[in-house]
Structures are given as structure tokens and as C-alpha cells.
A and B are shown apart, each in its own frame.
Chain A
Amino acid sequence: VRGFRIRFYQFKSIQFLIAASFTAMTVLVVFFVSIVLYNKFNRTAENNTSLSNQQIIYQVATNLEYYIRSMTNVFTSVEIQIRTNGELTQESLNEHLDTIFHTREDLVTIGLFTESGVRMTSLPSTDMRSNTHLTSQSWFRSAIENPNHLSFSVPHVQNLFKGRYKWVVSMSKGIKLKKANGEVINAVLLVDANFKMIDDLSRSVKLGQKGYAYIIDDSAGNIIYHPQQQLIYAGLKYENVEQALKYTYGSYLDDSTGVDRLITIQTVNNVGWKIVGVSYMDEIVTTRKEISAFLLWLLLCVLAFVLLITLYMSAKISQPIKRLEKSMQLVERGNFDIHIPIRRDDEVGRLSRRFNLMVNRIRELMNQNIYEQEAKRKSELEVLQSQIHPHFLYNTLNSVVRLAGTGKNEDVITMITSLSRFFRISLSRGEHFISVADELEHIRNYLIIQKMRYKNKFEYAIEAEEDALQCKTLKLVLQPLVENAIYHGIEPSADEGFITISARILDGKLCLEVKDDGLGIPEDKLSVLLTDFPSNVEGTGIGLRNVHERIRLNYGEDYGVEIQSEREEGTQVRVWLPYLQEGVES
């Protein structure tokens, strides 16, 4: 629970807020930039591929055109040979043709046939096969149908001569030959070429890793050449020729085979062929994957970097605030002795300074308050103290009048003299501190007066050590105690009482003692005598408490009044004061 609370607290912290928002913002920006870059790159890559494919295919088309022109030239030179050698013998013609035939390795057949399909001359000059269906073959028919026009056939198997069957493209033309005897006959000239050159050409095409180029026939869409011709022939592979036929040149995307492919088309002039370049989009996608991997890395790096920076920065910002908060917590717990060190003159620095000022002011106000409170209490006590006298004076004067009435002049003199001394010491020129001797003198006069008033209901004794007599004491500490002893200890008692006053040095402290043998104080009353305000109307303890408080206010907690009492045995009140010699200022 604690861990959770800490974490929760951290989530709510300024540091977290700054770090999170900065990181989120940066990542968002980088992300969008990446997407934009990625798209841009994609488009450029596609455009580049498309453009370069077009260039490659255009090159191939140019080369193919050149090849076809050279084949046409071969055909023409064969034709010229035949025309010029019309009158020559078969042997010399064959010799000439043989030269042409062997200079090129892509020639398979040269043949001259009559309109009815009878061989006039041929290379190779091997035996012809039976069942060739020569006159119904497409190259023968197109030569007869379009004389004087060189036509290119679709690929087919040449089945005219014994030996291995070969796939060829046939060039054929219907020509008129003048025989030696002047007779003009229609003939068909045939030149067959294999796919070697076209294959070489096609192999030189590099359209990515898997891309290739194939050639189709413009009119019917027959595939003239395909690098995987056998697969096409076996029906294991298909090319979407229909769509390619619609274009003369250019490129388009095709997904008819299930994969996205970029098709580039270029028409080869003269022969009516088209070169179709195929390149696979997933290869562009591969580079696309590369770039996206790169961008991802970049994103991660930026993220790590930004995270570090913001963590550092936010810590930098929030730490002084946290320190301030901690100091405030201490103040909250009551510790005002705090000063926050100011490191920088920024907002937090200024805030700290204000805080320091504020704490100082509070401390001052509190001290002032305490002082004022104490002063108030002291004055209150003094008022109480002064209140004692009129009552006492009234009682004493009453006794004096009574004594005077009965003619006891001697007693009147004693009483008045004692009263006079009593008041002299009471006033003691406004001094708060007097010597123990004076204090004892003061109490003796008081006791003389009281003894006369109470008609010798008690006896008393005053004892003092020599050292103690020289000590200083707060004045009028004994009088309330003796008053208590008389009123509460002796007066209610039926027997005659005895009060002992003594002054001693005990344990390095001054000890003034008032001891009586009166009634004693009930235990329940005794325990609360010095602490609580007394509840009974008799006012018992006001004097006692007064003395106790005055001593403690003046000398501290170590000093004060100590009471021991036992029922029917008496009470012993000790006043503990600091051991201070006269003449030595406290």
C-alpha cells in the first residue's frame, strides 16, 4: 500500500508531469515527422522504381528493335542472294546461303518453298519429315496471303527437318522468282531464328531481385518469349496479358496474380511486339521495411534521449519545490527554527526567500506572544498579591481596636509595630527579591500579629542556617503558606498548634519550609493542589499556587513548592529556590 501510495504520489508530481508531457510531445513530433518522411520516401521509391523500370524496358526495346533489324537485314541479304542467284546452280546458291547461315548462331533454318510447299532449297539440307503440314503452317499462310511483306510468326516448333525439334520464330515472305527459263514462280522464303539472342537480352534485364521481362505479340497477345516459358506452356504460370495489351507504353500496378507487381510496357516498332517488364512491389516493400526499421530506431533513440533530458530537467525544476515542501512540513509540525538555503534567484528562490521571511515573522510574533502572556500573568499575580493586604489590614486593625478597647496597650503597641514592619518588608521599596533574613523577619511579624489575633492558639518557631540567611529569595513566598497553615491546619483543629519555619541549604538549593501539626490535607485534594485551579469556594490553594507559579516563572521548572501532608499529623510545605547569595544578581 505504501509503495502504491508513493507511486501515486509520483504520478501526481510536477516532475512526472513535465517529463511525461515533454516526452509525449517529442515522440509525437518525431512520430509524425517519421510518417511524413516514410510516405515521402515511399512515393519517391515507387516513382524511382517506375522510372528506372521504364528506362530499362526502353533500353531492352531498343536492343530488341536493333536485333530485329539485324534479323531483317539477314533476311534481306538471303533474299538478295536468292534473287541474284536465280540463274545460278543450286550448289553455288547453297554455298552463299551457307556463309550467311554459319555466321550467325541464332539461325535454325533457311528455306525456300514453292507455293505448293515443295522445297526448292534449304539449310540444313537434311531430309524433310513427312506429315509436316507445311502449307497450313501459319508462317507459310501469312507469306502467301501478304506477299512482299516480311512477317514474324509466334513461337512454334519447327518440324520440317529431321533432327531435334526446336522452338523458333519464323520470318517469312512471299517472293516472286524468275527462273532461268524466264518463268516467274511464287515462292515462300523462310528464315527461322531460335531464342538465344532474345534469351540473352532478357537475361540482361535486372528489375530488382525477382523481376523479369517478357515479350508479347501485339495483335493476339501470344507470349513470344518469357524467361519461364516452359512454366507458361505447362500452364503453371499465367501472365495477365489482356491488360498489358491495352498499353503502348507506360506502367501500372497489377495484382491479378495475387501479388502486387509493377508492370512496365514498351512497344517494339516494326514487328508488333511489346516488352512487358515485371517488378515486384514487395521488393520496394523490403526497402520500405528497412527505412521503417531505421525510423523506428531513430524514434527509440530520440525517446531515450528525450527521456533522459526531461527526467534531468524536471528533476532540476521540481527538486527545490520538493525541498520547500519538506521545510513547510517541518513548520507545520511546529519547528520554526528553519532557514531554507537559497541557491538560485528564480521563482523558487524568491518563493524560498518569502517563506523564510514568513517563518521569521511567525517566530517573532510567537515569541512576542509568549512574552506578553507571561507579562500578563505576572501582573495578574501581582494584583492578587496586592489584594492580600487590605483584607489582612482590616482584620489586624479590627484586632487592634479590640485590644485598644480592652486597654491592652502593650499588645496594641506590639501589634502596630509588627504590622508596621510587616508592611515595610512587604513594600521593600518595590524590590521583588529580598534576603531570606528579611523574608523570615517578615513572616515573624506576620506570625506575631496572627498569634495575637488567634489568642495564642498556636506557637511557632523560626530556624535558619547561617548560609541560608544570606540568600536571596522572591519576596512574600512564605506568608501565603503560613496563612494556609493557620487557616486550614491550625484553626479548624481543636488542639493548640505549632508552626515551624525553617531555612536551609539542601542539595545545593535553598529550602524554605513551613511545617504545622494541624489537620493535614485530604489526599484527593493534595494531588490537585498545585496543578488545577481549586474547585472549592474557600479559595484554598490560591495562595499556594500563586507562590508555586511565581517561583517557576522566575526560576524555571526545577524550582517550586512541594507539599507533604498526613491527616491529623500535619502538613509540611517546602519551597525550593535557587541558592543565590545576596549581592549576586540573578
Chain B
Amino acid sequence: MKRAIAGLLCCAWLLLLSCGREGEIHSVPETQKEIVLIAKSKDGEFWNTVKMGAEAAAKEFNVKLIFDGAADEMDVKSQIDLVNKYIAYGTKGLILAANDYKQLADSVAKADQKGIPVITIESEVDASQVRSFIGIDNYEAGRQAALKMKELTGSQGRFIILNYIQGSRNAEQREKGIRDEWANTPGMQVVETAYCNSDLIRCGQMTKELLAKYNDIDGILALNAVASIGAAEQLKILKQDGQIKLVAFDNTPEELEWLQEGVIQATVIQNPFSMGYLGVKTAVEAMGRQSVPSRIDTGTKVIDAENMFWSDNQKMLFPFVQ
């Protein structure tokens, strides 16, 4: 009997020892889930800021972020290839800023079929499988730009719309917003819409050509960053800055400088940092099988030289980097 008790004590002691070991084991870091953000274009100030936001979120939510994009915003085919590549590669989540409203729908459906949640940012895709769209209301942004231009020119004048890509849904929406806003104001007249395909040189050239073609232009509405910079540079060169009002889109450092210099009178800003951040955040939520809002509006704001250094606007306009 004594031997039996001794045996039992030994067993208990071993058990306790094994318990002690249990406590010493530290939690092994989980393997990070991989998430892919495919931008419209790999470079450009706007997409850099999106990337910053996405990286901030990736760090916060402990996921591995892969940032990729097409060579330029016109390149639909290579973007489709990219999406397919990452689906095949086995990513766990996809954040897409689509270069085309319709042509990427198939790829999105394919991703969804494989259980990869798709979040679109900035530009929508015509696919019901998209879990969430994060971006601005482009129609409303167009209207705001139109309103600002109306205010700057006193509801009277002839205008050029310098749009970026023909057939781009965002571009169409913005232009529609402008035209709708001005529909009841006969003084505000759009003489021509030009597409400069987000090519800086082409944008400058087109501005020059158009200004030469119509000599009595009162203002230009440039509907994205590249068009805005191209137009601003050309106006500066032609020394017509200030005379011809320029309402731009986005807040690249160049545009901000032109804005402070008074070449650009006003710019409609989006919040690319928020798009990136919320894109990753929503994707992580969707991957975690949480319900996500089908639409998140990151909001737009009209900034002019007067209010650009207001405390709140500074925070939105200038990225905080060391």
C-alpha cells in the first residue's frame, strides 16, 4: 500500500511538473494573413497616400499587405492579369481600385467564388460580389467643383472640362455632376470636354491647344490630379494664372503648391489615406466573417488658398511624414 501511495505521489508530481512547463511556453506569433491591394497605378502621389493608409491599417490589424498596381490607369488588361495572379497565388483578401467599371467584374466574381472577399476603393466595379465600396461620391464631388467655379466666376463664363479617361466611371460621374449643377445656370457654359488620359505632358499640351482654340475661356475644371497639375503648369507658362480660374481635384504636393501660389483657385480633395486604411480594415473584417457596410463614403472637401492652412484642413491636406 505504501508503494502504491508513493507511486501515486510520483505521478502527481510529474503531472504538476508538466503543468509548470505549460506556463513557460509563450504564445507563438500567429502567421499573418496576406492581403493584396491592387491600385489603379503603381505610382503617383494619390496611390502613395492610399498605400500609407493601407500600411497603417495592416500594422494595426496584423496582416501582411502586398501593394501592387497596373503600370498606368489606362491599363485594364494588365490589372485583370494582376488580380488573377493574386487569386491564383492564394491571397486571403483583395482590395481593388479598378481601372474599369465592367471589365474587372469577372475577376471579382472569380475571387469571391474562391472565398476571397473583395473590397473596392476609389472606383466601383459592376459586380454584386463586391462586399464594400470605399470612396467618394464622384457625382457630388463634380457638383461641388461646379459650385465653386460658379462662385469664382460669378455665374458667368465659358469653361473647359479637362477630364482624364474616356469611359472611366468616376470621370463620367464627376463630369455629370458638373453639367447637372450648371444645367439651370445658362451663364455657365461648357465649351469642350477633353480627355488627357492621366498623362502629364498630354494634359499640358491639351490645355495649351484648347486655350489656343478658344481664346475667351474663363475657367478650367481639371478632374484629377494629373490633369490639374498639367493645366496649372500650362497656365503658369502662359502667364494666365489667376485670370483663368482653375478648379482641380486631389491634393498632391504640387497641386498644394499651385494652390498656395494662386494658380489653382480651389481643389476638391478626397481622402486617399482613409481609403487605404478603411480598405484594409474592411477587408480584415470581411475575412473575419463580420458584416461590413456595403458603402463607406470617405467624403470630399473643397479647399482654396484661404482655408488651406486652417488647422483642420492642414491635417487633411498634408500627410504627416517625418
Contact = CB atoms under 8 A, between A and B. Distances in A.
Interface of A: 129-133, 137, 154, 156-157, 159, 162, 164-165, 167, 194-196, 199, 228-236, 286, 290-291, 293-294, 297-298, 301-302, 304-305, 308-309, 312, 316
B154 interface: no
B309 A159 contact: yes
Nearest to B314: A157
B278 A305 contact: no
Contact of B23 (A196, A199, A294): A294
A294 B12 CA distance: 15
A230 B277 CA distance: 10
A305 B11 contact: yes
Nearest to A200: B322
Contacts of A309: 5, 8
Interface string B281-307: 000000000000000000000000100
Contacts, number: 92
26 contacts: A129-B261, A130-B261, A130-B262, A133-B309, A154-B311, A156-B309, A157-B309, A157-B314, A157-B317, A159-B309, A164-B253, A167-B321, A196-B322, A228-B60, A230-B320, A234-B53, A234-B271, A235-B274, A286-B27, A291-B23, A294-B19, A297-B22, A301-B16, A305-B12, A308-B11, A309-B8
A236 B277 contact: yes
A88 B271 CA distance: 49
B262 A131 contact: yes
B56 A228 contact: yes
A459 B277 CA distance: 142
B260 interface: yes
Given A156-B314, A157-B318, 17 more contacts: A129-B260, A129-B261, A130-B260, A130-B261, A137-B309, A159-B309, A194-B322, A199-B322, A230-B319, A230-B320, A231-B56, A233-B315, A234-B277, A293-B23, A298-B19, A301-B19, A304-B15
Q: Select the residue from B5, B12, B317 with max chain A CB neighbours within 10 A.
A: B12
Contacts of B311: 154, 156
Contacts of B22: 293-294, 297
A488 to B, nearest CB: 77
Nearest to B23: A294
Q: Select the residue from A133, A195, A232, A236 with max chain B CB neighbours within 10 A.
A: A236
A287 to B, nearest CB: 10
A298 B322 CA distance: 52
Contacts of B5: 309, 312
A231 B319 CA distance: 10
Q: Select the residue from A199, A233, A234 with max chain B CB neighbours within 10 A.
A: A234
A248 to B, nearest CB: 26
Q: Select the residue from A167, A195, A286 with max chain B CB neighbours within 10 A.
A: A167
Contacts of A162: 257
A308 to B, nearest CB: 5
Q: Select the residue from A130, A157, A195 with max chain B CB neighbours within 10 A.
A: A157
A403 B204 CA distance: 182
B23 A131 contact: no
Contacts of B262: 130-131
B1 interface: yes
A132 B260 CA distance: 8
B147 interface: no
Q: Select the residue from A165, A304, A308 with max chain B CB neighbours within 10 A.
A: A165
A475 B60 CA distance: 121
A159 B260 contact: yes
A236 B280 CA distance: 13
A297 B56 contact: no
Which 3 A-B residue pairs are closest in the complex by CB-CB distance? A233-B315, A305-B12, A301-B15
Contacts of B317: 157
A229 B320 contact: yes
B19 A230 contact: no
Nearest to B261: A130
A162 B256 CA distance: 11
B285 to A, nearest CB: 14
Contacts of A290: 23
Nearest to A167: B320
A29 to B, nearest CB: 16
Given A297-B19, A298-B16, A233 B27 contact: no
B322 A195 contact: yes
A154 B315 CA distance: 12
B273 interface: yes
A133 B256 CA distance: 15
B4 interface: yes
B322 A131 contact: no
B152 interface: no
A112 B88 CA distance: 61
B260 A234 contact: no
A444 B4 CA distance: 84
Nearest to B14: A301
A297 B56 CA distance: 39
Given A157-B309, A297-B19, A234 B274 contact: yes
A189 B163 CA distance: 46
A139 to B, nearest CB: 12
B52 interface: yes
A164 B256 CA distance: 10
B320 A233 contact: yes
B316 interface: yes
Given A228-B56, A231-B277, A165 B256 contact: yes
A236 B274 CA distance: 7
B249 to A, nearest CB: 18
Given A234-B273, A234-B277, A165 B318 contact: yes
A131 B19 contact: no
B212 to A, nearest CB: 28
